Chains A and B, each alone.
Chain A
Amino acid sequence: MKSDNMQFTTIFQNKLQRALRYPSLYLHYVKLEIAGMMEYKLDFAVGIFAMFLANGVIPLILIWVIFTQVDSINGWTFPQLLLLNGLSTLVFGVWHTFASGGVRHIERGIQMGELDRVLIRPANTLIQMIAERFDEDGIGDVIGGFLKIGLASSMLSLVWSPYNILLILIFVAGGFLILFAIILAAACLAFWTTRVHSFLNIITNFSRFTEYPIEIYHPAIIFLLTFILPFAFVNYYPTQIFIGKGMHIEWAFYTPVVGIILFIIAYAIWKVGLKSYTSTGS
């Protein structure tokens, strides 16, 4: 009995030790990636700037133009909508930076037999996949998100107290897991069929609904965005906490829970996919 316990403890310790090296492993990959990028310093800055313009500045101007014509959309004022939109940009930026490239590469990785290289290494396959494709362009999205959130909160006199900062960190982490899980699960389709690229695009396209308050949509779409492809937990429910209005404010706190549960499911699908993976043989 006692030795069983001992054994369990050592196994657990081993597992923990293995898990703990992943942050540093990931950082190591990122360092390599950035070192490579630094060869082309201009590209590095230019990519970030392009994303900042495309997803930060331009949507900001366009939303503002709409509000030069009307005072509110379904009771949402300009800064409130900007906060909603900015939170979405921020979470997508984090996703874009850290995981999107790797997950989108799964299809090609399978087709070209590149997965083999990752599989034979003694480290988690998924972490290797995403670490190899760290994408600094996403930093532009993150800055764009901060711009919108910053502008919105100054207009709303929203104070970033430690509590609020903690909240938004939890929401960003939860939202990141939701995006990661949904798109990973969709990308895993590539284990059983080819060309999932456009399928991924349409799934990602559904997230565009969350650029505006979801209560403007048909109830069926609200249902879809809450229970089936729960993108609404990425920004809609969390935003309500900060502006104190909307439907089901308390659902904001489900964001991290939804994220963790979805991620466990998606990870299980990924594992099943890997099991059924047979190399293309090249």
Chain B
Amino acid sequence: MMKYLAYSKILIISEMAYKFEFVMNILSTIVQMFVLFFLWSAIFSWNNTATIGGFTLSEMITYAVVGVVIARILNTFIEWYIEEDVKTGNIVMMLTKPLNYVWYNAAISLGEYSDAFIRTALPSFIICILIFHIFVPDPLTLILAFISVFLGAAVLFLISFILGTFAFWTTGSIWFLRSLKQTSITLLSGSFIPLAFFPELLRNIADVLPFQTIYHVPLSIYLGKISGFAMLQAFAIQIFWIVLLAVIATLTWKAARRRFVALGG
């Protein structure tokens, strides 16, 4: 375990070197939050309504702004790293090391997530509490929401890893797969608009796909929209996707390795 965490640590330390980026990233995040803050304020005040789709203005702003915070944490480039490993042949080095490549990449992702959490998400979260006076739940709910973000992060990592293994068959397509993933997340995760606003068809599609476990679940827990049994259910769905995707990831990785050996002769 420790040997994997060493990789996480290296990634965090190397990113720490850029202090100017640190400030700029936070500023960028705040700009994005301001857009959403004014958008929802305008929508509520113009339509002169207390709730939209079951959300009050304060809940909606909290949803949108905390969504931006989560988006800052959940940014992984694992597909590209895998593609680079394949392209440069670095993958050979990786295979000779006494490492499990899946866990190695998980550690890299964890490093990315932690780095983004410490340097961008946490400061932005504190600033947005001060600026937008967003709703902050009780400590227990906050911890549960955080665990849910972590599970969502695992789902995102596994999806990215699976896409990354496609590099063994075709390099150059990873960029497209990655953007397809981003597109699906934007549309179907509830990162920008709560799924409660969605028309039935779109909502049903979102419900049966893993993307909603990345934003919709943690945000709903944070806002207290789901609690008690429904929360347990939501956690169960997240864990279900992690297990399923982990199985798929292991299988694609095995197939990729076999193909690699075949190529390497």
Q: In the complex, are the beta carbons of A54 and B20 less than 8 A apart?
A: no
| B101 within 8 Å of A (CB atoms) | no
B150 at the interface (CB under 8 A from A): no
Q: Shortest Cβ distance from B65 into chain A, in angstroms?
A: 15
Can you give 12 contacting A-B residue pairs, CB < 8 Å?
A43-B172, A73-B46, A75-B46, A195-B21, A198-B20, A198-B24, A199-B20, A208-B31, A209-B34, A212-B38, A212-B39, A218-B38
Per-residue A-contact encoding for B9-48, CB less than 8 Å = 1, 0 else? 0000000001011001101100110110011011100110
Interface residues of A in 193-211 (CB under 8 A from B): 195, 197-199, 201-202, 205-206, 208-209, 211
- B100 interface residue, CB < 8 Å from A? no
Q: Which of B35, B39, B183, B197 contacts A54 (CB 8 A)?
A: B183
Give the segment of B140-148, B154-162, B173-181, B222-230 that binds chain A.
B173-181
Interface string of A52-70 (1 = CB under 8 A from B): 0110001001100110111
Which residues of chain B are near A201, meaning CB under 8 Å? 24, 28
**Residue numbers in B under 8 Å from A10 (CB-CB):** none
Q: Is B90 an interface residue (CB 8 A)?
A: no
Docked-complex contact B197 and A202, CB < 8 angstroms: no
Fill in one digit per residue for B186-221: 1 if any A CB lies within 8 Å of its CB, else 0: 110000110001110010000000000000000000
A46 touches B192 (CB 8 A): no
Per-residue B-contact encoding for A259-270, CB less than 8 Å = 1, 0 else: 000000000000
- A47–B21 touching, CB < 8 Å: no
User: Min CB distance, B177 to chain A, in Å?
Assistant: 9
The reply to whether A62 and B187 contact each other, CB–CB distance below 8 Å, is yes
Q: Mark A70-95, 1 if CB is under 8 A from B, else 0.
A: 11111100000000000000000000
Residue of A nearest to B182 (CB): A54
Residue of A nearest to B18 (CB): A195
- Asked if B193 and A66 sit within 8 Å, CB to CB, the answer is yes
* Majority SS at the chain B contact face: helix
Q: Do A198 and B28 contact each other (CB < 8 Å), given the known contacts A70-B43, A217-B38?
A: yes
Chain A minimum-CB-distance residue to B186: A58
Tell me if B53 counts as interface (CB < 8 A to partner A).
yes
With A65-B193, A73-B39 known, 5 other A-B pairs at CB within 8 A are A43-B172, A50-B180, A66-B43, A72-B46, A73-B42
Q: Is A216 an interface residue (CB 8 A)?
A: yes
Q: Is the CB of A65 within 8 A of B183?
A: no
Please pick, from B27, B43, B172, the residue contacting A73 in the complex, using a CB distance under 8 A: B43
Given contacts A72-B46, A199-B24, A202-B31, contact A216 B192 (CB under 8 A): no
Contacts of B183 in A (CB 8 A): 50, 53-54, 58
- Asked if B52 is an interface residue, CB under 8 A from chain A, the answer is yes
A74 partner, pick from B20, B32, B42, beta carbons under 8 A = B42
A40 contacts chain B at the CB level, 8 A cutoff: yes
Assembled-state Cα–Cα distance A170/B24 (Å): 34
Kindly state whether residue A221 has any CB partner on chain B within 8 Å.
yes
A: interface residue count bin:
35 or more
A47-B42 contact, Cβ under 8 Å, with A69-B197, A198-B20: no
- A40 to B171, alpha carbons, bound, how many Å? 11
Chain B residue total in the interface (Cβ 8 A): 37
Residues in chain B near residue A216, CB distance under 8 A: 38-39, 41-42
Chain A interface (Cβ within 8 Å of chain B)? 40, 42-43, 46-47, 49-50, 53-54, 58, 61-62, 65-66, 68-75, 195, 197-199, 201-202, 205-206, 208-209, 211-212, 216-218, 221
A62-B192 contact given A50-B180, A198-B25, A208-B31, CB 8 Å threshold: yes
Contact A74 B46 (CB under 8 A): yes
In the docked arrangement, what's the CA distance between A202 and B26, Å? Answer: 10
**CA of A51 to CA of B28 in the docked complex: distance in angstroms?**
22
Q: Is the CB of B38 within 8 A of A65?
A: no
Contact for B35 among A47, A50, A70, A208, CB less than 8 A: A208
Nearest to A55 among chain B residues (CB) is B183
Say whether, besides A73-B46, A198-B24, A202-B27, A65 and B197 are in contact (CB < 8 Å).
yes
Given A73-B42, A195-B20, A198-B25, is A68 in contact with B197 using a C-beta cutoff of 8 Å? yes
Which of A61, A68, A202, A206: most chain B Cβ within 10 A? Answer: A202
Instruction: Give the complex CA separation of A217 and B37 in angstroms.
Output: 9
Assess the A50–B179 pair: CB atoms within 8 A.
yes
Ranked nearest first, the 3 interchain pairs of A and B with the lowest CB-CB distance are A216-B42, A198-B24, A50-B179
Q: Is the CB of A72 within 8 A of B47?
A: yes
Residues of chain A within 8 A of B49, CB atoms compared:
70
A198 to B18, CA, bound (A): 10
Knowing A68-B199, A73-B46 are in contact, say whether A46-B173 is a contact too (CB < 8 A): yes
In the bound complex, residues from chain A placing their C-beta under 8 Å from that of B52 are 69-70
Taking the nearest CB of chain A, how far is it from the CB of B204, in angstroms? Answer: 14
A62 partner residues in chain B, CB cutoff 8 A: 186-187, 192-193
- Taking the nearest CB of chain A, how far is it from the CB of B7, in angstroms? 24
B47 and A47: CB pair below 8 A? no
Q: Which residue of B lies closest to A210 (CB)?
A: B35
